[in-house]
Structure 1
Amino acid sequence: LKKKEAICGSPAQHQSAGITVCLTYCNDDDERFITAGENLDFDLNLRKTFIFSRRQQKLLGAVTSITLRGDGHQFFVTTDKCHLYRFNYADFTHELINTCHYAAVNDIRFPSGCSELFATCSYQDVRVFNTNTQQELLRINIPNMNCYCIDLLADGTAIVSGWDDSKIRAFYPETGRLMFTIQNAHKKGVTALCSTSTCNRLISGGGEGQVRVWDITEVRPPDVQQRHGRTRRRRGCSGDEKGVPESSFVTKLVEAMHEHTNAVSCIQISKDDLSCVSASADSTCIIWCLEKQIIFSNTLFRCICYHPNEWQVITSGTDRKIGYWEVYDGSLIRQLEGSRSGSINGMDITKDGNTFVTGGDDKLVKVMDTYWSASKIVNFIVFFFVSLYS
């Protein structure tokens, strides 16, 4: 520092020049440090002349921080793709400890009758997580595309998703391989999606405001066993080159319903698959049977739920109100204040219809009693943290 001269250094070359974003010293050796930058981890030794990299590992995303553990026998590395790695210093091996989406999460779904797994979608990928361990089990990547919505078929045989390139893509849940694609499903991207209980129809909503019904027909190979009219596929083998033969699928547009004038934000279907309700950014909710009743309100609806008895629907949106609507004539039954600040962006209801949960811009998850006043709301502050494993 007194002489303002570099003790050590390495000339930059066009093959290796990059941006070093973080640096940490080893606790038990002053002549050893770890540096990282874009997509690389380096373990370096100090030299009086030039320094050179001894070992390196390629990571997913640019490195944002490095933290030593204990005496330096291990260290943790995080990247801008929301990956947390643990390195062993002796052999310089690494393992992925935890990960999550690095962009906004657009949708989340649980399988029918199962709370141990859940699927999420975001920019470029669809992921499946274990609820108990929070570990990622499956990742489906579509580069440079944004996934707006997902749904899981009731029999668990497919993950269907809607994308901003106007395509509906279905994937095998065991391997993540593509099952089928519906081309040009909507003009301005697929913004909402749900499936029937029979798993042979999809209902989609688009950015242009249309609600469309798609018929899915599975053409089974002759040597594949059948059960209840559908293909019986061995778990863990579907879509695998070494597994059972894959079925082919034929998709057909059954109906296109034109009523919304803006993007469809949510679609829910009734238990009997005879009617569905859609919410849109044009401030309307529509119950289709094909068209049974139109519900108008001066709010931009974000989400909607059928009551399990299906005699009413519950809506919420940018006006921070939770509305109860009569399905028969579309009349408003009552309203509750769902949030004091910010819109309500997500909502779901239990199977018994006694409790529903909301989440919104106020960063609170609220558990509400369906039949009592808002004073029975229980608030849970939602925050994110990174847990380092010892």
Structure 2
Amino acid sequence: MCEDIEADCKRLEPAAIFGFDGQVSGGLQLHPDHKHLIFPLGNKLAVTNLTNNKQKFLCGHTNTISCLDISKSGKYLGSGQVSQRGFQAYTILWDWCKNEEITRHELHKERVQAVCFTSQDQFLVSLGGEDDGTLIIYDIEMKTPIIRTPAAKRTSGSPLTLLPFHRSSSIFIVAGDRHLRVWTIERESRKMQVLDASLGKIQRRFTGLRISEDDHILYAGTMSGDILKVRLNITCEKDCERDNQQAILLGCYARHNPRKPKGKDCEKYVNGVREVYIVGNGQLLIGAGDGSIELVEERNVVLKDYNSPTWPQFKSIKHTKVNGAVTSITKLSNSIFLIGTDNNEVYTLALPSFDLKLHKTCHKATVYDIVFPKDYPQVFATASYECIRIWSTTRLKEILRIMVYNFSAASIVFTNDGSSIISAWNDGVIRAFTPITGRLIFAIPNAHNKGCSAVTISSNGKVLVSGGMEGQVRVWKIEPHRQSLVGVLKEHSGNIASVDFNKFDTEVVSACSDGTCIIWDINRLTRKHVLYANTQFKCARYYPTGVQIIAAGTDRRISYWEVYDGTLAREVIGSPKGFINSLSLNQTGEYFISVSNDQTVKLWDYQQAVPLCCGYGHAAPVVSCRFSPCGKFFVTGSADGAVIIWDVPKEYWPKEKKAEDVISVKSEPTKRKPSKPKIENIEQAEPDKESRDLVCCECPPINMKYVPQINMAYGC
């Protein structure tokens, strides 16, 4: 029944997508047409048009994508995924022009470590993970696998990466832990020849590989922090009679520090060399595990009797640093490169000036909550692991980042005047920040014993209600220089999923995983009604007039409850497959949105309780959602850190009040009294200002020995 209704729904179109999976090594790639950027996003391949910034998805994987490659001609895409332990993992071949799957195979166990296309689009090579360790050669013309063989010797470690030759359609390189091998495909006999590189006594774990255009020199980055330069004695010409010979190590190089004496002037890259790119003119662009990016060239120096196997042969020309380990380096144009990091951020690097600019960013973990300021749709805030971020809906960029390391923000809320952001963290601390600079206003340590999970605040900003993992709902009185505990409401036996004030600030509804929602009288600090259901509640929201409550949970149902007596008024199936994680109503109460574990977003008619529109842009379970104050768009966040802004169809926009319904009173202008200095407010953020850069602020440490004060004069 629910699936039939969904088939008649209109399709929601995303207005903007903030998402990038930086954990995939080499996952950020530019299509040969130089107009499309391709990268993995959960279990989907995201294709971004760089001219109009529109995005589409290639769907077919059943789990997280682990590798990606584009053929040299741009006709094909290849991708692999991770699977559950004990199951086979898919490798999929895509048609670029039709944006559809050509074929797939599941011959690798648990993980596809890497994929690559040989030149001339003849073969797709896939490499299994640590539990598999095999090479699969897939013939694109015949559309069938033709060869399967172990990728490494038993005496060496796991293979990690693949790299094809530029000129030969049958030769590629496999590198990994303590081995570097050159493979040649013999299609007629369905066999393969392999040559191990001669590296002497040097043993490394190889990561980033890059071959020169003439296929003579290989630069291999290692986790030890140095780069191996290898001469490839491979004959790519068919008419040449000379056989392929073993690759020979020319040197093991690192950065030269001229300030140190000989023997100590060799500096390796911290956390390894993750990516290498041959710029030209003998220069290399190196990305390291600590975020360092350097443009280097080889020194014209002959080193003899050096006391280390790694020589200081690279001269640093320019240096910069990004946030996180470098996982991808892609050339966008002649002088501009794209740098991807494992913190899910993409930077543009201008090579002449070596200036960095943040191009794309998103959270690196689950987006737990989303909130808008009251009557101000120009910005919104998101809560995730280690940070709270404020985004501009006009510029479609991040404008503020508040960092609290090693902890997660479970819930956030703006005060009605927009002067602060109240946040609940899993370390048991409630923190309030300014919305422009991110400065800490106040903190309530030990607010909950096992961590805070939900928070809300009254319209006047004086009463704060929080929920904890231990099942308690606590009421706080907020004063300029004092935050005191008013009362503790102990009825729930599970973690509190959400808390919400009604229109009049007299009641709060708390949703809990124990299968109950409780309506509390905040003035008397007593329970009014208990809502029982055979589910673990994930969310409960008041209708704008305060007469009903809408709730959802793990039973995949959306339920309507009467506030007057706590009875169930209506119940509908909200999702055919996954849990419903969050709900949000617009300001008029005509429509609401629901998000669920099946990666779908739905817009509902509140009175008829039927879905009107469906959106399928997420690549992971959708965890949070929020309607904008204007009701013309809404924002959702998922478990992979992606944030999507969705446009609401025009026929579902809130009805604007007519001019004759608005009473206007004309009066003479009065002289204003001299006001006090303005307090920092979210409306001062100027989200439309192009010159405004991203502001990052780190939260100072909190004294966890502080015990919250108890206010005995509440309500007096």
- TM-score above 0.5: yes
Amino acid at match of 2:395: T
Flag the structure with more relative contact order, 1 or 2, with Cα contacts below 8 A and sequence separation at least 6: 2
Separation in structure 2 between the aligned mates of residue 152 and residue 377 of structure 1, nearest angstrom: 29
- The aligned counterpart of 1:37 is 288
Contact 1:121 1:150 in 2 (8 A): yes
- The aligned counterpart of 2:586 is 350
Aligned CA distance change for structure 1 residues 17 and 279 (closer, same or farther; 3 Å): closer
Amino acid at match of 2:385: Y
**Structure 1 runs (4+) greater than 4 angstroms displaced:** 11-15, 46-49
- The aligned counterpart of 1:127 is 389
Compute the displacement of 1:46 (Å): 4.7
Separation in structure 1 between the aligned mates of residue 369 and residue 408 of structure 2, nearest angstrom: 11
- The aligned counterpart of 1:252 is 484
Structure 1: 5+ residue runs without aligned partners?
219-248
After the TM superposition, which residues 1-390 of structure 1 pair with which residues of structure 2 at under 5 Å, given as runs?
1-2=232-233, 3-10=246-253, 16=269, 18-26=271-279, 29=280, 31-38=282-289, 39-46=291-298, 50-71=313-334, 73-218=335-480, 249-289=481-521, 290-374=526-610, 376-383=611-618
Render the CA deviation track for 1:3-33: whole Å, top value 9, x for unaligned: 522345415856545422222233xx36333
Contact 1:10 1:52 in 2 (8 A): no
Compute the displacement of 1:44 (Å): 2.5
Amino acid at match of 1:33: L
Structure 2: 5+ residue runs without aligned partners?
1-231, 234-245, 256-265, 303-312, 620-641, 644-716
Amino acid at match of 1:21: R
Render the CA deviation track for 1:40-64: whole Å, top value 9, x for unaligned: 1121225676333322212110001
Separation in structure 2 between the aligned mates of residue 383 and residue 265 of structure 1, nearest angstrom: 22
Amino acid at match of 1:166: G
Compute the displacement of 1:95 (Å): 1.5
Compute the displacement of 1:373 (Å): 4.4
Amino acid at match of 1:62: A
Separation in structure 2 between the aligned mates of residue 138 and residue 18 of structure 1, nearest angstrom: 28
Separation in structure 2 between the aligned mates of residue 63 and residue 17 of structure 1, nearest angstrom: 12
Amino acid at match of 1:183: P
User: How many equivalent residue pairs?
Assistant: 352
TM-score between both structures, scaled by the size of structure 2:
0.48
Amino acid at match of 2:248: E
- The aligned counterpart of 2:146 is none
Amino acid at match of 1:306: Y
SS at match of 1:51: strand
RMSD: 1.9
Percentage of identical aligned residues: 36
Compute the displacement of 1:336 (Å): 0.9
Contact 2:467 2:473 in 1 (8 A): yes
Contact 1:8 1:51 in 2 (8 A): no
Amino acid at match of 1:32: Q
Separation in structure 1 between the aligned mates of residue 494 and residue 388 of structure 2, nearest angstrom: 25
Contact 2:270 2:288 in 1 (8 A): no
SS at match of 1:292: strand
Separation in structure 2 between the aligned mates of residue 341 and residue 140 of structure 1, nearest angstrom: 36
Compute the displacement of 1:183 (Å): 1.8
Point out the structure with max Rg over C-alpha: 2
Contact 1:101 1:122 in 2 (8 A): yes
Aligned CA distance change for structure 1 residues 17 and 164 (closer, same or farther; 3 Å): closer
Compute the displacement of 1:176 (Å): 0.7
